[in-house]
Amino acid sequence: MGEIATSNRQITLFYNSKSVRAKQTLAYAKAEGIIVKEVDLLKTKLTGLQIVELAKRLGLTVANLVNQEHPAYNKQFEHHNFSTDDWLKMIQHNPEIMKQPILLLGDKSVLIETPTDINKI
């Protein structure tokens, strides 16, 4: 059992409340009548294990879970090959740099690129 509790009856959305894509995804879900459990990454601190689990569920490395094109990343960091622990600390202290929104339902996981990706679940 992982760090993140999931259910085949509950859709969970990990998102950044300042993200336009996340706002659009939430609006789309509500318009379609899809009920989601919201986890705002800016308000809910994820543990290192939870971040690792999200990356694995998406088939990514922790490094690939970082949006290196995000203005906050470019403002504070230079492009480097960091250790997994370093990437984890960067995400934990700067959650806005994590790629999102991430949708979970049971053992299914989707990194949302467009709001309609919610239908992949």
d(CA 58, CA 93): 21
Element (H, E) at 58: helix 48-58
What are 41's two structure tokens?
Answer: 């990454």
Mean pLDDT computed over 83-104:
94
- The domain ranges of the chain are 17-107
What are 84's two structure tokens?
Answer: 């997994």
- Number of H helices and number of E strands within the chain? 4, 4
pTM score of the predicted model: 0.90
d(CA 40, CA 34): 17
Mean pLDDT computed over 24-45:
94
**Which of 22-26, 37-41, 71-75 shows the lowest mean pLDDT across its residues?**
71-75
pLDDT tens per residue across span 45-88: 999 999 999 999 999 999 999 988 887 877 777 777 789 999 99
